């Protein structure tokens, strides 16, 4: 087969790991990113710096690639759509547009008869007053949120006065779920009823940022089966191509809820690099590039620890690890609080 040039939009750690996986498959990667310091330029074959609405840069990118994928969902729909007219974009731009809007995403999930927590659109402060039933709740920006950014916990209506919320943006108010656990399911779909699915991963968040991910998840067989079933239904309904992650809540009564969908590879799946024969990244590249699908095999149980902010320092300074520990430094230029800087996966 002739050389494949895979375009990736976004140059963070997910772009790095996608590039690494592509390299193993002899596929060249071209990354387009609006951050000149993006860490993925250390891992890709070619890097293009440009804003996501810069028509010239977009054209330069398109000329260099055979097809395009992306590592994050907050890309303007117009950009993906324009690109898709000249080179195939996978997952399809319409999927990205649906999922990048929390209201459209939740409506889509509910229309499949899949449970989410209760939610309502909030465009202005007075929209919250009749929503007492939704409290305690979390107010989330409808678009552009990640790692808990753009989220406010509202216990009672009075809280609104002290929070200084910018109502030039729109929000959804979600009823707080009394969490017992959080899990995620990662699936890579190659075509109709043709997919590989990873076992549910148990996730622990601190300050709304993922801290630990572990397999196997300590969950009942019912939850195991239902979460995989719902993730499969979602990816089939979307006619999705590539790797997708569904985040779930389990409440204290053992009810399962979909929290959100990520139309991309996901932080909770980093452990698949070491714990499976094929990682979520390799599977994504295989699916979007129409390569062979290989049956998944779990090689080991595993636990991943995210290194956030200056937690990375001690490992950079003293990188001593056991044979079953794998350290990943994302090589980000600046250390910032709440920023994911690297991770460690420990096989068990
Ligand atoms: P992000 O897009 O930032 O990942 P999420 O909606 O996944 O946003 O929220 C981040 C975390 O905040 C969740 O993983 C969970 O720990 C907590 N959280 C968010 N929404 C709720 C909710 N409705 N009930 C309980 N916890 C929540
Ligand atoms: Mg999330």
3-state secondary structure of 250: strand
pLDDT bucket at 307, cuts 50 / 70 / 90 = very high
What span, in angstroms and rounded, lies between the C-alpha atoms of 287 and 90? 9
Q: What is the mean pLDDT of the chain?
A: 96
Please give the distance, rounded to the nearest whole angstrom, from the Cα atom of residue 318 to the centre of ligand 2. 31
Please give the distance, rounded to the nearest whole angstrom, from the Cα atom of residue 235 to the centre of ligand 1. 21
What span, in angstroms and rounded, lies between the C-alpha atoms of 208 and 308? 12
What is the number of the ligand closest to the CA of 210? Answer: 1
Q: What is the CA radius of gyration of the chain?
A: 20
Pocket test for ligand 1, best of 135, 208, 251 (most atoms within 8 A of CB): 208
Pairing of strands 67-70, 137-141: unpaired
Residues written for the chain: 348
Please give the distance, rounded to the nearest whole angstrom, from the Cα atom of residue 66 to the centre of ligand 1. 36
Please give the distance, rounded to the nearest whole angstrom, from the Cα atom of residue 257 to the centre of ligand 1. 12
Confidence (pLDDT) at 1: 58
What span, in angstroms and rounded, lies between the C-alpha atoms of 31 and 44? 7
- Give 161-169 contacts, CB < 8 A, sequence gap 24+: 165/125, 165/139, 167/123, 167/124, 167/125, 169/141, 169/142, 169/143
Q: Which atom of ligand 1 is nearest to the CA of 247?
A: 7
What span, in angstroms and rounded, lies between the C-alpha atoms of 147 and 251? 21
Give pLDDT tens digits for 261-284.
999 999 999 999 999 999 999 999
Beta strands in 273-324 (DSSP E): 302-308
Q: Which atom of ligand 1 is nearest to the CA of 175?
A: 23
3-state secondary structure of 212: strand
What span, in angstroms and rounded, lies between the C-alpha atoms of 257 and 216? 19
* H helices present in the chain, as ranges: 13-24, 55-64, 77-86, 93-99, 102-111, 159-163, 221-238, 272-275, 280-288, 312-317
Residue 240: count other Cβ atoms within 10 Å of its Cβ: 23
Nearest-CA residue for ligand 1 atom 1 is 146
Give pLDDT tens digits for 3-45.
999 999 999 999 999 999 999 999 999 999 999 999 999 999 9
Nearest-CA residue for ligand 1 atom 8 is 148
Please give the distance, rounded to the nearest whole angstrom, from the Cα atom of residue 246 to the centre of ligand 2. 9
Residue 98 sits at φ, ψ, to 5 deg, of -65, -45
What span, in angstroms and rounded, lies between the C-alpha atoms of 213 and 271? 8
Cis peptide before 136 (omega within 30 of 0): yes
Please give the distance, rounded to the nearest whole angstrom, from the Cα atom of residue 53 to the centre of ligand 2. 26
pLDDT bucket at 99, cuts 50 / 70 / 90 = very high
Mean pLDDT of 146-160: 88
**Tokens read off for 271:** 């452990």
Give pLDDT tens digits for 105-151.
999 999 999 999 999 999 998 999 999 999 999 999 999 888 888 89
What span, in angstroms and rounded, lies between the C-alpha atoms of 314 and 176? 36
What is the number of the ligand closest to the CA of 147? Answer: 1
Nearest-CA residue for ligand 1 atom 14 is 208
What span, in angstroms and rounded, lies between the C-alpha atoms of 22 and 285? 6
What span, in angstroms and rounded, lies between the C-alpha atoms of 56 and 141? 31
Pocket test for ligand 1, best of 259, 262, 263, 306 (most atoms within 8 A of CB): 259
Give pLDDT tens digits for 53-89.
999 999 999 999 999 999 999 999 999 999 999 999 9
Pairing of strands 179-191, 201-206: antiparallel
Please give the distance, rounded to the nearest whole angstrom, from the Cα atom of residue 208 to the centre of ligand 1. 6
Mean pLDDT of 319-342: 96
Nearest-CA residue for ligand 1 atom 17 is 208
Q: Which of 2, 15, 190 is nearest to 91 (CA)?
A: 190
Give pLDDT tens digits for 287-303.
999 999 999 999 999 99
Residue 272: count other Cβ atoms within 10 Å of its Cβ: 30
Nearest-CA residue for ligand 1 atom 12 is 208
Residue 154: which residues within 8 A CB-CB, separation 6 or more? 128, 135, 136, 137, 138, 139, 160, 163, 173
Measured CA angle at 45 (ends 41, 50), to 5 deg: 50
Q: Does the structure show a pLDDT above 90 at 160?
A: no
The larger pLDDT score, comparing residue 215 to residue 150, is at 215
Q: Does the structure show a pLDDT above 90 at 208?
A: no
State what percent of residues in the chain have pLDDT above 70: 100
What span, in angstroms and rounded, lies between the C-alpha atoms of 274 and 207? 27
Binding pocket residue ranges, ligand 1, CB within 6 Å: 117, 138, 145-148, 174, 176-177, 179, 182, 205, 208, 247, 259-260
Please give the distance, rounded to the nearest whole angstrom, from the Cα atom of residue 93 to the centre of ligand 2. 20
């Amino acid at each position: 087969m002739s050389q494949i040039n895979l375009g990736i939009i976004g140059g963070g750690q997910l772009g790095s790991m996608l590039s690494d996986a592509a390299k193993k498959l002899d596929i060249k990667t071209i990354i387009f990113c609006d951050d000149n310091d993006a860490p993925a330029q250390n891992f890709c074959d070619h890097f293009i710096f440009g804003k996501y609405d810069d028509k010239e840069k977009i054209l330069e990118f398109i000329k260099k690639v055979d097809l395009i994928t992306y590592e994050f969902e907050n890309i303007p729909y117009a950009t993906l759509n324009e690109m898709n007219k000249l080179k195939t974009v996978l997952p399809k731009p319409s999927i990205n547009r649906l999922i990048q809007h929390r209201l459209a995403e939740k409506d889509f999930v509910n229309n499949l008869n899949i449970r989410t927590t209760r939610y309502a659109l909030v465009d202005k402060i007075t929209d919250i007053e009749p929503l007492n039933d939704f409290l305690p709740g979390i107010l989330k920006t409808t678009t552009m949120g990640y790692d808990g950014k753009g989220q406010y916990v509202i216990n009672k209506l009075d809280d609104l006065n002290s929070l200084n919320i910018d109502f030039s943006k729109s929000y959804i108010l979600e009823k707080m779920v009394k969490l017992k656990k959080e899990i995620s399911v990662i699936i890579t779909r190659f075509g109709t009823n043709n997919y590989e699915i990873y076992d549910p991963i148990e996730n622990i968040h601190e300050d709304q940022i993922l801290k630990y991910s572990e397999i196997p998840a300590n969950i009942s067989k019912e939850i195991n089966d239902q979460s995989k079933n719902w993730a499969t239904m979602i990816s089939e309904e979307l006619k999705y191509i590539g790797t997708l992650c569904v985040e779930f809540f389990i409440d204290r009564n053992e009810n399962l809820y979909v929290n959100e969908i990520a139309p991309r590879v996901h932080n909770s799946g980093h452990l698949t690099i070491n714990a499976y024969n094929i990682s979520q990244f390799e599977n994504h590249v295989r699916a979007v590039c129409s390569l062979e699908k290989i049956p998944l095999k779990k090689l080991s149980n595993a636990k991943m620890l995210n290194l956030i902010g200056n937690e990375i320092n001690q490992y950079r300074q003293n990188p001593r690890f056991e044979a079953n520990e794998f350290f990943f430094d994302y090589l980000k230029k600046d250390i910032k609080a709440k920023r994911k800087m690297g991770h460690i996966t420990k096989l068990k």
